[in-house]
Amino acid sequence: MSSSDFRQIAIRTEAGKAERLFRAAVSAFCSLTRPSRREIAQLEDLTLPLFDDVSVESRRYVAAALSECEYAPAALVRRLAEEPVEIAAPLLTRSNALSDIDLIALIGRHGLPHARAIARRKELNPTIAHLIRALERPTLVKSQPSETITKLAPAKPVPAPEDGRQVRGEAEENARRRLRSMMRPAGEGVGVNLFLGQPAYVKLRETALTGNAAFFQTALADALAIDFATARSVTEQSSYTGLLAALKALDLSEDRAFLIAVAVYPGEFPHPQAIRLFLDRYRLLHRETALDKVRAWKAETLSRAIRGNAAETTGAEPQVSKSGSIASLKAS
């Protein structure tokens, strides 16, 4: 009898049969020492259509059983991981079927309850652990760099209002210094675009996971060789379209691009379909198109700089002319 026959029997009979079939199928699977791909696919074909018809207790039982299973079916595990933490906790804490990308996406969709369960995993990726700490104590995480700078920097008088542009420039430079001081040494083979002695991907990932937008914007500006204002405009858009082009221009792989995108735009990925849409859009975006976009940003940056210099020169000319006429009057 095939899995489809079992499923039809369960659908035609009362809910109790579906419950027993759901539990029995998973229990039998977990008893297999090394299940084949076919057996894993059969379990998914059998259990996933029954998922919405079984009770919370059955889901909790299956989640606990699969959390100890070395070769658990990934689709069923991911479906259970989307359940409330009271059901999903064993899988979030122990299951090897959940990848780092899965964990990041779960944190983005479910927030602290899932994050706290994930934090109990052994050998948790350090970047995910840092993200969870940032979620737990966002104010403290964000304030630590500025406190460090405050302790190290000499006291300065409060600037006058007319020095506003200079103050903003100093603030941006301070942010860059804080960013560079907090970077950890890079691992091997994690990127090809190098800046400041470390792979671009590592810095983008680390700064995105701090939750501090200015840090990530600074890293993005350095990676693309654009100014801070442009990087800020790219990441403050209502959608991730601009960031998509930036990451494609850096030639990041799909999983790395998604990890950064979900850290910067967590609200854009409320369900698996949104993740699939991002990956499809990223895959279909030609890198040369993305590079053209970055070149346009650089051209706009240069244009702003030229306009700014022209404005300063124009503003200075009347003063020279005026002073020259005054000097001529005094000479006469």
DSSP state of 160: P
Segment 96-135, tens digit of pLDDT: 999 888 888 888 788 889 999 999 998 888 888 887 887 7
Q: How far apart are CA 1 and CA 135, in angstroms?
A: 49
Asked whether residue 272 is domain-assigned, the answer is: yes
Q: Are residues 180 and 281 in the same domain?
A: yes
Q: How far apart are CA 28 and CA 103, in angstroms?
A: 27
In this structure, of 206-210, 278-282, 310-314, the range with the lowest mean pLDDT score is: 310-314
User: pTM of this prediction?
Assistant: 0.45
Q: How far apart are CA 279 and CA 274, in angstroms?
A: 9
3-state secondary structure of 199: strand
Q: What is the pLDDT of residue 7?
A: 52
Q: Are residues 148 and 73 in the same domain?
A: no
Q: Are residues 189 and 93 in the same domain?
A: no
Q: What is the pLDDT of residue 140?
A: 42
Q: Are residues 176 and 229 in the same domain?
A: yes
Query: What does the pLDDT average to over 163-170?
Result: 51
Asked whether residue 118 is domain-assigned, the answer is: no
Q: Are residues 143 and 246 in the same domain?
A: yes
Q: Are residues 147 and 39 in the same domain?
A: no
Tokens in use for 311?
């404005």
CB atoms within 10 A of CB 266: 18
Domain count, the chain: 2
Tokens in use for 156?
């300065």
Segment 177-215, tens digit of pLDDT: 544 443 333 343 334 443 333 478 888 988 888 888 888
Q: Which of 303, 309, 164 is nearest to 230 (CA)?
A: 303
Q: Are residues 67 and 7 in the same domain?
A: yes
Domain that holds residue 74: 3-98
DSSP 84-108: -HHHHHHHHHH-TTS-HHHHHHHHH
Q: Are residues 7 and 62 in the same domain?
A: yes
Q: How far apart are CA 250 and CA 246, in angstroms?
A: 7
